[in-house]
Structure 1
Amino acid sequence: MKKSPISKLTLESRTFYVKRDDLIDPYLAGNKYRKLYTLLKTPSHKFNKIISYGGTQSNAMLAIAAMCAEKDWEFVYYTKPIGETQKSENHGNFFIAKNLGMLHVEVDYEFYKDFIASIRMNLDDKTYIVDQGGATEEARAGLEVLAQEIREHDLHVKSLATPSGTGTTALFLALSLPEYKVYTTPCVGDVTYLKEQMSAFHAIPENLIFLEPEKKYHFAKPYPEFLHVQKKLLEAGIEFDLLYAPGMWKCLLEQTDEEIMYIHSGGVTGNESMLQRYKQKGIYPF
């Protein structure tokens, strides 16, 4: 498994360190690379098809597509219906994933939930399902590798930060590094919902600290303050994703004061599509 370097970043007169998991691979990078560790180490002959589901700009979708292209596995991805505009786009995660060989299947809104619940019922031994966002118990192995890398860097910093969708990365990282404080913030729903998601896998450890955003943010919706944070990060020298990172950085700047290592989740390939949404809303970049 490839190791990622650490960069130093100065933001609002504070020093941060960034674990550059975004540099591992153009598509199979960030926390999705860690979550797919077990599958990446699996011999290609064990499976011939991977199934997953979720949103059409998902970083996990793109990472799985890249993995399947490398392994020569068929990749079938289920979503709710999408518009013709998105289908015809020539940029973004959905476009790249399709070019990598992903088979996209739309399921009607009224049947989607029941369909996803049923896809495990008729599997054969050569088919494997990756739950939305890569939220599986198998993800723990890759996060333990990340934890070992962080220890080997041997920095004086003892606080880490990573944003949460399902919360899998933050949870398993905190469990693997009990001597560190791990900050996270919910990017989908609120802290209560995030804790419920995490608790399905494991009891939440004491070293996992939840930072509640100052107001409720809807996932993937354009917000001027997020674009403002993104501008500061770019000026500091590192590009982060526009879906998860701005909310996490905003909370870190407002609610913490120590030196922190931020785990870069990757996902910057989706920024072009997200910036188009900002433009459509009249919130022009910078």
Structure 2
Amino acid sequence: MNYINSPIEQISFNNQKYFVKRDDLLNKDFSGNKARKFYYFLKNDFPEVKKVISFGSAQSNAMYSLSVLCKIKGWKFDYYVDHIASYLKENPVGNYKFAKEFGMNIIEAEVPKSFKEDELFISEGGAVKEASFGIEILANEIKTWAEENQIKNLKVFLPSGTGTTSLYLQKFLPFEVLTCSCVGDDEYLEKQFLELEKSNFPIILKKEKKYHFGKLYKELYEIHNELLKQTNIEFDLLYDSLGWICLDKYTKNLRNRDFEILYIHQGGLLGNISMKERYSFKFDKKEENRLC
């Protein structure tokens, strides 16, 4: 399987026209921006590698995608985390549950300082230069689509964690790439850019307020549900909800829009399983109690 060439759909959201690149549909198990970031490791041979080592949160999308990659390649996978909630250990769900089923060995400890010759270390979230390999293919797909549809004025939008995908898309595309910071603040995102490239950064759209990553916000839940209602597409609750809030504000503030917007759907829907439970418990229960 090639895990490339995802479809592009036209949608309408809040009376605005958008195109959506459905990278969430690349493959049932290996999809989204992580499939693009890790495509280099999938397509190339590493005869000396026997184990992959990475780190991050216990519900990371990258963690799950790496577990799939390692299963495909026949590698062992050690994943380091600061902490696993006791509830999650007792009630495995989402990325954590499925990564373990794919053979991940999760370790509550600091990442080792050094690695053996047969161990491949991949930074948190796939923020590595090798990610450019798969993201260039994504950029070429976008360019081909724009040419075939005679779209000359295009802006590409996607929310960012480490910013790796948006950074390399800007490097390989002739179009303006827009993003917003989801994990840290804008300064954090700019520092992440500088780890990989020295110039030609995407444009970071400003947020109206500070959001703490992983914390529940009613407006993120509401726009998630509204997107599903209006477009019949499920988006990720951690990144896409904030991304669409920023993009919706951006388009509403435009006086004259003479360009098309392509939104990159980066997958991550397994993480919605646990997020929906949290959101429903916090907000839906309150609404039920209010109406009683």
Gaps of 5+ in 1: 108-114
**TM-score of the superposed pair, with normalisation by structure 2:** 0.89
2:156 corresponds to: 160
SS in 2 for 1:55: coil
Which SS does the other structure have where 1:268 is aligned?
coil
* Aligned-pair identity (%): 40
Q: Which residue of 1 aligns with 2:244?
A: 249
Q: In structure 1, how many angstroms separate the alpha carbons of the residues matched to 2:267 and 2:285?
A: 23
Q: Residues 58 and 83 of structure 2 are in contact (CA less than 8 Å); yes or no, is this contact kept in structure 1?
A: no
Instruction: Give the CA deviation at 1:246.
Output: 0.7
Task: Provide the rounded CA distance (Å) in 1 between the counterparts of 2:272 and 2:248.
Answer: 22
Is 1:150 aligned to 2:135, yes or no?
no
The answer for the alignment partner of 1:198 in structure 2 is 193
Q: Distance in 2 between matches of 1:253 and 1:163?
A: 13
Provide Cα deviations, 1:151-209, integer angstroms capped at 9, x if missing partner.
111241510001111111110100111x2011100001211111011111112316x21
Name the TM-score, length of structure 1 as normaliser: 0.91
Superposed displacement of residue 31, structure 1: 0.5
Residue 37 (structure 1) aligns with = 39
Contact 1:190 1:212 in 2 (8 A): no
Counterpart of 2:21?
19
Give CA-to-partner distance per residue, 1:11-44, whole Å, 9 cap, x none.
0111111111100112311110010011001226
Please tell me whether residue 276 in structure 1 is matched to residue 277 in structure 2: yes
- For 1:141, the aligned partner's letter is F
Shift of 1:143: 0.7
Structure 1 position 90, deviation (Å)? 3.7
Aligned residues: CA RMSD: 1.7
The reply to whether residue 223 of structure 1 matches residue 225 of structure 2 is no
Query: For 2:189 and 2:137, how far apart are their aligned partners in 1?
Result: 24
Contact 1:50 1:76 in 2 (8 A): yes
The secondary structure found in structure 2 opposite 1:147 is: helix
- Aligned pairs (5 A) from 1:1-286: 1=2, 2-43=4-45, 45-107=47-109, 115-116=110-111, 119-121=112-114, 123-154=115-146, 155=149, 156=151, 158-177=154-173, 179-205=174-200, 208-235=202-229, 236-256=231-251, 257=254, 258=257, 259-283=260-284
Q: Is the 1:227–1:285 contact (alpha carbons within 8 Å) kept by the matching residues of 2?
A: no
Give how far 1:84 is off.
1.7
Q: What amino acid is the match of 2:69?
A: M
Q: Distance in 1 between the 2:27 and 2:53 partners?
A: 22
Shift of 1:142: 0.9
In the alignment, residue 215 of structure 1 is paired with which amino acid? Answer: K
Task: Give the aligned partner of residue 290 of structure 2.
Answer: none
The separation in 1 between residues aligned to 2:239 and 2:67, in whole angstroms, is 21
Assess, with a 3 A threshold, how the Cα gap between structure 1 residues 92 and 285 changes in structure 2: closer, same or farther. farther
Counterpart of 1:82 in structure 2: which amino acid? I
Contact 1:44 1:71 in 2 (8 A): no
How many equivalent pairs are there?
274
Q: Is the 8 A contact 2:64 2:99 kept in 1?
A: yes
Deviant stretches of 4+, over 4 Å: 283-286
With over 3 angstroms needed to count, the CA separation of the structure-2 counterparts of 1:283 and 1:214, relative to structure 1, is: farther
Residue segments in structure 2 that go unaligned for 5+ positions in a row? 288-292
Task: Give 1:66 shift.
Answer: 0.6
Deviation at 1:9, TM superposition (A): 1.0
Q: CA deviation at 1:64?
A: 0.3
Residue in 2 that maps onto 1:112: none
